[in-house]
Structure 1
């Protein structure tokens, strides 16, 4: 009798498992058909293909780096920074600056950092790099450099009527 019970139980389990497998397969097929037929599916596949293509292209042919706008920190200072933070005759007493800024290691370090950040932002944020640079980096460091108690506080001041901050060319 025990053998019959086990045989019947085993047959019932096999039938239930077979029926569950069939039901699961049918349901999975219906869900798959619904997904493929939906508007979402082609767009999702297209997006995945485009992303994979871009990754492959980037891996196989890395983009050329954008050349720097300014070739050196000195060019950056002369062509951009000094004109940007220039002062007028009436304000020159407040702006501590040295025409030999390049002879002050602490100033060179800050201006070098500013130049590198400017070039990085120019590539990373082509449309907003200038605002980001001035607000977060340029204004901060130039305020420190030009402060009455800053790096150039002990330098002799002359009143120049020029717009850019003063600079003596490096010979």
Structure 2
């Protein structure tokens, strides 16, 4: 997956739309709002990740929010402006839509245990994408520093011929 490259002329909304398209396995922007595949006759509950977060997740997750010296969940009101957050929340939405249909008995329990809990912990962690945000303030994400890989290093990799 190729993540959007921030730059002076970068449009964060378009970049995130492209990222969502990649997450959905499509190259076009239309994939950003397309619902996950469901069995025939089964419609998704939520049209897209934004609706899922705003209408469902924000209402069922009950955590004390961090604010100043108070401990609690780090959360950003502009969650969609953090590439890691949008990727994780998109995955949560897709897993939720799949498990509610494929396992009506224990699917939601599995979703909480195997999907929401680890993703929410990573998003809200001390070093997670929301670590510099508060419920009242968004801080722009900072990509990890990356230097170009020397060609002689790439040539040693097993898949060097496919590059």
Please tell me the TM-score bracket, short chain as reference: 0.5 to 0.7
Tell me whether 1:106 sits opposite 2:84 in the alignment.
Answer: yes
1:143 aligns with 2:121: yes
Equivalent residue for 2:108, pick from 127, 130, 133: 130
The CA distance in 1 between the partners of 2:48 and 2:80, in whole Å, is 12
User: What CA deviation, in whole Å up to 9, does each residue of 1:117-171 have, x standing for no partner?
Assistant: 1111111101222101001101010111011221111124549xxxxxxxxxxxx
**Residue in structure 2 matching 1:93, options 71, 75, 79:** 71
Q: 1:72 aligns to what?
A: 48
Query: If you compute each CA radius of gyration, which structure gives the higher value, 1 or 2?
Result: 1
User: What SS does structure 2 have at the residue aligned with 1:94?
Assistant: coil
* Structure 1 equivalent of residue 93 of structure 2: 115
Q: State the alpha-carbon separation in 2 of the partners of residues 127 and 74 from structure 1.
A: 26
Q: Distance in 1 between matches of 2:66 and 2:84?
A: 27
Q: Do the aligned partners of 1:94 and 1:148 also contact (CA within 8 Å) in 2? A: no
For 1:112 and 1:90, the matched residues in 2 are separated by 23
Task: Report the RMSD for the aligned CA atoms in angstroms.
Answer: 2.4
Task: Give ranges in structure 1 of 5+ residues lacking alignment.
Answer: 1-62, 160-171
1:28 match: none
C-alpha deviation, 1:81, in angstroms: 1.4
**Alignment CA distance shift 1:153-1:118 (3 Å):** same
User: Paired residue for 1:153?
Assistant: 131
Structure 1 pair 157–79 and aligned structure 2 pair: CA distance change class (3 A): closer
Q: Which has the higher contact order (CA 8 A, sep 6+)?
A: 1
| Change beyond 3 A, Cα 1:89–1:96 | closer
